[in-house]
Structure 1
Amino acid sequence: MVKCIKCSNQAIFTHEESNTFLCEEHKKESLDTLSELAKPEFNISEKDMALLKSEIKRRIRLINESKKQIIQFTSELTNRTEKLSEVPLRRQGKLLKEYQELLRKKSFNQKDREKVYNILKSSYDPYIIHKPIEFHEDTKEFYNSFFKEIDFIQGNTAEKLYKNFKLCTQGHINYVYCVAISDNNRYIASGSADRIIRIWNLIKNIQKCYLEGHTESIFGITFSPVQKYIISSSKDSYVIIWNIKTREIHKKIKFERCWIFTLKVTHNNYLICASTRAILYIYDMKTFKVKKKLKGHKKSVNCFDISSDNKLCISGSCDNTLKIWNLINFKEEFTLHGHSEVVNSVAFIPDNKFAVSGSADKTIRIWNLKKKIQINILDGHKESIKCVLVTANGKFMLSAGFDDKIFIWDLERYTIIKTLEKHYRAVLCLAISRDGRYLVSGSADRRVILWDIFKPNFNYELCGHIDHVIAAGIFKNKSIAVTLSNDGRVKQWNIKNKCQILDIPGKSYCINSTIISKDNKLIISACHDKTTKLWNFKDYTLIRKLEGHTENVCCIAISNNNTFLISGSYSGILIVYDLISYSIKYALKSHESIVNAVEITQNDDFAISASNDKTIIIWNLITFCKEYIFEGHHTEPIRGLAIKGNILISSSQDNSICIWDFQKRSFVRKLEEIHEDWVLCICISDDGLLLASGSGDKSIIIWDLANFQLKSKLTGHEDSVWGVKFSRCGKTILSVSDDKSVRVWDVGSGDICFILFTHSARLRSVFITTDNKYAVVSSDDCTVLVFDWEQKILIKILSGIFSVKSEIIQYSELKSLFDKSSESLGLE
């Protein structure tokens, strides 16, 4: 706090010329120069403060790294070069001092304003790789090119684009579970397993904003009748009421020991919530207090609908029944039986005399509510039905489910009159506008699609990348932004109109796995750009990119004698590379889907691969032939492999771990019903006594391999755990997660020792060198982080991208952005 020069009160104003500070009372003495008085401090939000600290720490790290690089290069050049180096070093020293001073401050004076907002609105480009140069004219350019403040190169790119330009470039990056259309047909809201609510302008086809607040998947979303609120429900057991105008949380309702699948607001201002406790909760929207609890179902209530006159409610449940409720006296009227599996969706036909329901039994059933009977069963879907809707005129019904299709039905003839096909995974939700014209669908393919029912061939995907945006270039004079994303698309945006103007094929940048050779000479990475990258571990130079795969490379293994490596890809093919000649030795073909993991046995005689096709294949590395297939015990794709001696262990999306006898080629046992989500990764300790497994349920489990019993459960990650690795002594374990953190755990106590690092992108794998000194971590943003992990030091960030400019300029459709009249910020 800055104090007044005449008393101990907090200063409110400062005199710029004399640099003196005055409180409210003593400012009156300076009325003659009041026009020169200004407030000495300004406040920034907690979120901006966190971003400021994160960005400064990141810059300090990059500056320290670049200082080492400058000193190393300078020592190899002439005295003239040494003189040139003094300028950037002095500049960087000044920057370090300024940044460290800013970090120590709790409040900021007026002179700090420009520095703070300049940091928040810009970024350093870690992708620019400076190579050693010969002594001639380009020496000056080499030294002067370090750390220009430029726009949005990498690190929270989508957030920065939204914060500074109100430009939403990020779409949903996980299943879209719910969608809703406002009563005035202007806005669409969508909720996802990525925990984000996105608000779209239906007319302009732009994303207007996004709302963050839930900590788990969002299952339900609705607008209040007058568009004052958006109400959402989540697996985190909260219902959140959002003020649409301020985009802030207005109210949070906590549900104990359950969560809400779906919710709606009646026109007489009641909020109805269907819960996993088999209860329908009714809240008064004025007081946000429970008015009534409707009990009768024996299992979770999955869905409900409200009659057009607000007098009745129909609900569907995991108990396979439907119930009709009176919303006047809040009593159950009757129960409808017929479905043989859970009821996922229900809807009234507008006359309120009939209703429809969709079920996991793959049928749609039509009910006469007056006679309380089922009058028809409609077949057509080949998989579980997730949602049914009826148009406002009662003539048509829409249905969708796990067969990826949307059917439009004629309710007079009970026939399918149109099939809408654009989603390539399960359609999980539907919403229809009040005028019956627009249909919105959300899917497991992460996309939200808008359909014109009057013109069924007219549809478009609501714009936004469906995987993380990792970098962007800003061309301010043309009001254009270009974004790169791991969804394999490059998009061009109009900054003024906030709309997408170009969408072309690109590539994914994620580095899925990184290992180090047994002799500590090579760092090897499997990248989604279809290459395997090799770096020199001594000087961190990129040696080579191994090509040959036609799809994303997602796993690698190196031989124990360091002479060859094997990589597996999305195509189902494994390629064996010779590390002496860097040539392809052999392609192993047998898997029918993505190869997620590969291991090589101790004597380099066999390779073992696991795939989405639910099989594990043993390959003879002498003959390069398939020798044996393990199958039949995993019911979903296999994600992880580990081998120690004769014990082979696999993990799967079926939430289980299987133990196999490698020598006898036999199944031993299955560990299941412990993890609550996909088991994404596994590793065995060097002594072969312990197994660690990481899961989509955010936990790590340590298993005793002597008896296959759970030893301890490590909790603390806030998202899926993608990589685990025991230290060589087996006393600690490192893990990486979608929460962007690297954590170190004590194996004995199960407690977290420390958070080694928090990155700006999701982390995919972790590996520890044979000497236990170094750890390498793979990231979504095409970087590999190298740590001296026990000393808690980040040594180096290796990038698979030369620069953002080089990535964008390779596309012919974007080359015109780089003409001389273009001011390209973020690309300098």
Structure 2
Amino acid sequence: MATDAKEISKLELEAVIGFNGYLPSGLSVHPDREHLVYPLGCTVILKKIKDGKQEFLDGHTNNVSCVSVSKSGCYIASGQVIYMGFKADIIIWDYAQRSIYARLQLHKAKVEALSFSPNEKYLVSLGGQDDGGIVVWNIETKQAICGSPASSTSAGHCLTVQYSNTNDNIFVSAGNGTLRVWELDVPKRKIRPTECQTGKLKRSFKCIKISEDDQFIFCGTTSGDIMKVNLKTGLLNSCGPVKKKYSLGVSSLTTLKSGDLLVGSGAGLLTLCSVDNFKILKEVQLEKGVTSITLRGEGQEFFVGTEAAQIYRFSFKDFKAELIFTSHNSAVRDVAIPFGTSELFGTCSQDDIRVWYKDKPKELLRITVPNVTCNALDFMVDGRSIISAWNDGKIRVFAPESGRPMLIIHNAHSMGVTAIAGTSDCKKIISGGGEGQIRVWELQPHGHRLLETMKEHKATVTCIKIKSDNKECVTASSDGACIIWDLVRFVRNQMVLANTLFRTVCYHPEEYQIITSGTDRKIGYWDIFDGSAIRELEGSQSGAINGMHISQDGKHFVTGGDDKLVKVWNYQDGDVTHVGVGHGGSITSVKICTNSRTLVSTSADGAILQWKFPHHSSSSS
């Protein structure tokens, strides 16, 4: 396979559904008041508040771990995670040009936090636990001025850093058992720390905010209280609330012009509290922990990000939460696209199935089944039902408009239902389970009937595809076998074997070949009639291939897997034509829309990415 000889183009990203709600202060309102700024995977997303239109800052090689926006909004800085032993990039972006202004490298493995100085002269960066260093950078020269260990003891791991609002030479760092005020001496290229004195109160700090006049540092603690420390003297001023502490710690806070505080807890409580005695003035309960609070303009409204991967908008007038953005907050297991339409698609994960509108990425429907995971889903060809496979051993069928349960098949598989497909006449469902069985179910007007159980696989069934005439299907399993079944006589027609855990299988549209992939990183082409191997491609440099789909004309197919890359292949030549970089987690599934205009990929970090399918003119008739 001569991929080196041919030019490989970049896939164009159209839209991203996802928000990493676990990142502290991961959500910001840009000073232009028009955009939200937040990272997902390797990408920093700029999202217009008014119409939801997205732009992407693309340049990181691995997951973005922190983001900071400068006071005027001229610059955005983002840091990333990288493998042990390597140096993690910091990128300073030119906001107006939407381009890279500088790429900085000093920290090992991870950049924990970033903060711009008030006049945008300097950027301070904090390394992760394996690095433990603080570095101050000159933005104009794009060089490091000086650095220092963030904490005096190995036990004091630093988590956050915040620049003064008025002084380019003062910043504060905080973390587990450490709170320091730093002074920058540019001529001597040194930073000098002063330990803050909190007396007998020993705390671990999750977040800090300096008041606008630079009088006080407000520190949110894991113990669920807030410490108010004098910035000039480093001495504790007060601590509260005394009685009712914030459950699961104070995870986010911000100061207001009025002097009051907005406080978010790890248990999802958001409060407006008085700065004098930390008395709660207003409160609202959100789903899961609050990780970001960001003001828009003078703060007539503000936005909140949570661990449930949701973004809320608040107005100070009524202090009511308006949910403006939702996404999965755990691994997306599968994606399905209804036959004959390219407007919608469905995804599934732990607890739920969601149906999305493609053109303006928006959640249309959520079907929730608490405490169980949906492993796979499919739309029936007539569009009247969604069939789904769950780890509690049940097959659930839902109405796609309302999400109403239409049918539940109990005890469908003893070790969970792991794969599912519906026949094109909408009369049968074929399911696979963790125990390796394939079952054929007949759908009846008022129920269902088990037609047959086929037992040849020795391990989990990972994928099922049905031939267009409904007389044959192919199943892939992690036992290293793909079996082609006769669905009339319920016997095995053919079996292909490989030294791999098969993850996915596809029929070529002409149905004389299948292609497979799995943990051995190979893509195999096989003859349906005799099961013989036709060719083998090197599908990935690292990690399993988990998802694969062929275009309707059979000229191209797409793959995605643990290397986090979406690849578009020429079926005939076996060459990669396009690569998509953007996922921050292992890709779990990929699908090409019916009209071959869009490609949808999902990943283990909860993200859904929409790409422009590059071969539209040749593959849509």
TM-score, structure 1 as length reference? 0.44
- Alpha-carbon distance, 1:263 to partner: 0.7
1:280-679 matches, within 5 Å, as 280-297=134-151, 298=153, 299-310=156-167, 311-318=169-176, 320-327=177-184, 330-337=191-198, 340=202, 342-374=204-236, 375-378=238-241, 379-393=244-258, 395-422=259-286, 424-457=287-320, 459-462=322-325, 471=337, 481-486=343-348, 488-492=353-357, 503-505=364-366, 512=375, 526=389, 532=395, 547-548=408-409, 555-556=416-417
The answer on whether the counterparts of 1:734 and 1:743 sit within 8 Å (CA) in structure 2 is yes
The answer on whether the counterparts of 1:233 and 1:240 sit within 8 Å (CA) in structure 2 is yes
- The letter of the residue matching 2:42 is R
1:275 matched to 2:127: yes
Q: 1:552 to 1:190 in 2, by over 3 A?
A: farther
Q: 1:315 to 1:209 in 2, by over 3 A?
A: same
Partner of 1:235 in structure 2? 81
The answer on whether the counterparts of 2:67 and 2:76 sit within 8 Å (CA) in structure 1 is yes
* Structure whose alpha-carbon radius of gyration is higher: 1
Unaligned runs of 5+ in 1: 1-44, 52-158, 163-167, 515-523, 534-544, 559-563, 569-573, 587-600, 603-641, 644-680, 684-722, 747-752, 766-776, 781-791, 793-797, 806-825
Q: Deviation per CA, 1:94-136: give whole Å up to 9, x if none.
A: xxxxxxxxxxxxxxxxxxxxxxxxxxxxxxxxxxxxxxxxxxx
Partners of 2:193 and 2:118 lie apart in 1 by: 21
The answer on whether the counterparts of 2:21 and 2:291 sit within 8 Å (CA) in structure 1 is no
The answer on whether the counterparts of 2:300 and 2:315 sit within 8 Å (CA) in structure 1 is yes
1:265 matched to 2:130: no
Match of 1:763 among 546, 551, 558: 546
- Alpha-carbon distance, 1:453 to partner: 2.8
Partners of 2:90 and 2:413 lie apart in 1 by: 39
- Alpha-carbon distance, 1:460 to partner: 3.3
1:728-739 matches, within 5 Å, as 732-734=499-501
- The letter of the residue matching 2:146 is K
Partners of 1:762 and 1:454 lie apart in 2 by: 51
SS at match of 1:445: coil
Q: 1:549 to 1:245 in 2, by over 3 A?
A: farther
Q: Deviation per CA, 1:722-758: give whole Å up to 9, x if none.
A: x994648999443759xx9733179xxxxxx974589
Partners of 1:288 and 1:801 lie apart in 2 by: 42
SS at match of 1:392: coil
Partner of 1:251 in structure 2? 102
Match of 2:47 among 200, 215, 218: 200
The answer on whether the counterparts of 1:348 and 1:356 sit within 8 Å (CA) in structure 2 is yes
Match of 2:27 among 179, 193, 200: 179
Q: 1:365 to 1:549 in 2, by over 3 A?
A: farther
- Alpha-carbon distance, 1:282 to partner: 0.7
Report sequence identity in percent: 14
Larger % of strand: which?
2
Q: 1:412 to 1:474 in 2, by over 3 A?
A: farther
The answer on whether the counterparts of 1:439 and 1:451 sit within 8 Å (CA) in structure 2 is yes
Q: Deviation per CA, 1:155-175: give whole Å up to 9, x if none.
A: xxxx66x2xxxxx36233774
Q: Deviation per CA, 1:370-393: give whole Å up to 9, x if none.
A: 554322233531103322221234
The answer on whether the counterparts of 1:260 and 1:274 sit within 8 Å (CA) in structure 2 is yes
1:212 matched to 2:58: yes
The answer on whether the counterparts of 1:197 and 1:210 sit within 8 Å (CA) in structure 2 is yes
Partners of 1:362 and 1:247 lie apart in 2 by: 39
Q: 1:472 to 1:578 in 2, by over 3 A?
A: closer
Q: 1:409 to 1:513 in 2, by over 3 A?
A: same
Partner of 2:601 in structure 1? none
Higher RCO (CA 8 Å, separation ≥ 6 residues): 2
Partners of 2:47 and 2:590 lie apart in 1 by: 35
Partners of 1:373 and 1:335 lie apart in 2 by: 6
CA RMSD, 1 decimal = 5.5
Q: 1:409 to 1:732 in 2, by over 3 A?
A: same
Larger % of helix: which?
1
The answer on whether the counterparts of 1:513 and 1:778 sit within 8 Å (CA) in structure 2 is no
1:699-718 matches, within 5 Å, as none
Q: Deviation per CA, 1:775-806: give whole Å up to 9, x if none.
A: xx9999xxxxxxxxxxx9xxxxx99999799x
SS at match of 1:336: coil
Partners of 1:366 and 1:730 lie apart in 2 by: 66
Q: Deviation per CA, 1:344-392: give whole Å up to 9, x if none.
A: 1111122322221112233222223455432223353110332222123
The answer on whether the counterparts of 1:554 and 1:567 sit within 8 Å (CA) in structure 2 is yes
SS at match of 1:488: strand
Partners of 2:135 and 2:412 lie apart in 1 by: 49
- Alpha-carbon distance, 1:284 to partner: 0.5
Partners of 2:414 and 2:60 lie apart in 1 by: 33
- Alpha-carbon distance, 1:473 to partner: 9.9
The answer on whether the counterparts of 1:425 and 1:444 sit within 8 Å (CA) in structure 2 is yes
The answer on whether the counterparts of 2:395 and 2:410 sit within 8 Å (CA) in structure 1 is no
Partners of 2:57 and 2:480 lie apart in 1 by: 40
Q: 1:389 to 1:525 in 2, by over 3 A?
A: closer
Partners of 1:296 and 1:246 lie apart in 2 by: 33
The answer on whether the counterparts of 1:727 and 1:733 sit within 8 Å (CA) in structure 2 is yes
- Alpha-carbon distance, 1:762 to partner: 8.2
- The letter of the residue matching 2:501 is L
1:226 matched to 2:56: no
TM-score, structure 2 as length reference? 0.57
Partners of 1:421 and 1:447 lie apart in 2 by: 13
1:742 matched to 2:589: no
Partners of 1:799 and 1:289 lie apart in 2 by: 41
Partners of 1:577 and 1:366 lie apart in 2 by: 63
- The letter of the residue matching 2:127 is S
Partners of 1:385 and 1:360 lie apart in 2 by: 6
Partners of 2:498 and 2:345 lie apart in 1 by: 43
- Alpha-carbon distance, 1:525 to partner: 8.7
Q: 1:196 to 1:363 in 2, by over 3 A?
A: same
- Alpha-carbon distance, 1:512 to partner: 2.6
- The letter of the residue matching 1:195 is C
